[in-house]
Amino acid sequence: VAKINSNYQKLAAGYLFPEIGRRVAKFASENPNAKVIRLGIGDVVLPLPAPILKAFHDGVDEMGVVSSFKGYGPEQGYAFLREAIAEHFKSQGANVDSDEVFVSDGSKCDTGNIQEIFALDSTIAVTDPVYPVYVDTNVMAGRTGAADENGRYGKLVYMPATADNNFDPSLPTGHVDLIYLCSPNNPTGAVMSREALAKWVAYAKQEGAVILFDSAYEAFITEPGLVKSIYEIPGAREVSIEFRSFSKTAGFTGVRCAYTVVPK
């Protein structure tokens, strides 16, 4: 008899956001007059701005004429976009080539999918609290043990990032293979300092670990001198994959366009 992937049964309460959706839908149907303020998925509430609308309309028009019609695109994304992304990194002091950029349909998908290229017995470190996609995708793939009564999974290394340590997580005491870092952080909003990132890069080099650096919210950093890309840190190209998104600026959330950098 065909069997399901039993790792899914380890998921503590199902994936967080559908579970919130189910509870909100149940409450709303039982209380049709209640006004519900939704604090689950951060959705957008304002329409797309005019320049984005124009670009979309122009793109659709391109698809209607033989001379500019496009079929399947190149696997890594169109060159014009990858080159613009690489220039954007360079303007931030980060050395990224256009052929190191992989365009995708979102950072949620990218940060979930990236784990598949690593060994199933990899040791994973995550901050606590953490964006649940990093954890749940590894649970489903079988890289963790069962959840305990607090919803924490066996084999996962949790690094607390709370007000007590100024949201600056400590290095693991032992070896880990993969380290998820998110700056600006989802959910705390904290931005990692240059010194903290340099400490993580040094640890990754020493341990032969890979840092999975999620900077989807980098556009919100306005304070001069703060690090936007991990590739601003010397040596980071040897040990880091960076994830970025167009979703978090200009009301693009839900439209789905993001990119991942994998240095040669």
DSSP string, 165-182: GTT-PPPPSS--SEEEEE
| Residues counted in the chain | 264
Q: Please say which residue, 3 or 35, places its beta carbon nearer to a copy of itself.
A: 3
Tell me whether residue 210 or residue 227 sits nearer to a copy of itself (CB atom): 210
Judged by the rule CB under 8 A, the positions of this chain that interact with a copy of itself are: 1-6, 8, 18, 21, 41, 43-48, 50, 53, 56-57, 60-61, 63-66, 69-73, 75, 105, 116-122, 140, 142, 177-178, 207-210, 253-255
CB of 135 to a copy of itself, least distance (A): 16
Would you say 41 or 84 has its CB closer to a copy of itself? Answer: 41
Task: Kindly report the backbone phi and psi dihedral angles of residue 166, in degrees, each rounded to the nearest multiple of 5, phi listed first.
Answer: 55, 35
Q: Which CB, 48 or 147, lies closer to a copy of itself?
A: 48
Question: Angle at the Cα of 207 (from 118 to 156), degrees rounded to 5?
Answer: 55
In one-letter notation, the amino acid at residue 205 is K
CB nearer to a copy of itself: give 75 or 223. Answer: 75
Q: Rounded to the nearest whole angstrom, what is the least distance from the CB of residue 58 to a copy of itself in the complex?
A: 10
Pairing of strands 210-214, 178-182: parallel
CB of 12 to a copy of itself, least distance (A): 18
Query: Least distance from C-beta 129 to a copy of itself, angstroms?
Result: 21
**Helix pair angle (16-30, 132-141), 10° resolution:** 110
C-alpha distances out from residue 232 to 76, 79, 118, 256, Å: 23, 23, 25, 26
**Shortest spacing between CB 106 and a copy of itself, in angstroms:** 10
Task: Note whether 242 and 230 are within 8 A (CB).
Answer: yes
- The residue among 190 and 230 lying less far from a copy of itself, judged by its C-beta, is 230
User: Which distant-in-sequence residues (6+ apart) come within 8 Å of 101 by Cβ?
Assistant: 76, 77, 82, 85, 86, 259, 260, 261
Q: How far apart are the first and last CA of the chain?
A: 44
Identify whether 187 is preceded by a cis peptide bond (ω within 30 of 0).
yes
**From the CB of 88, what's the least distance to a copy of itself, in Å?**
24
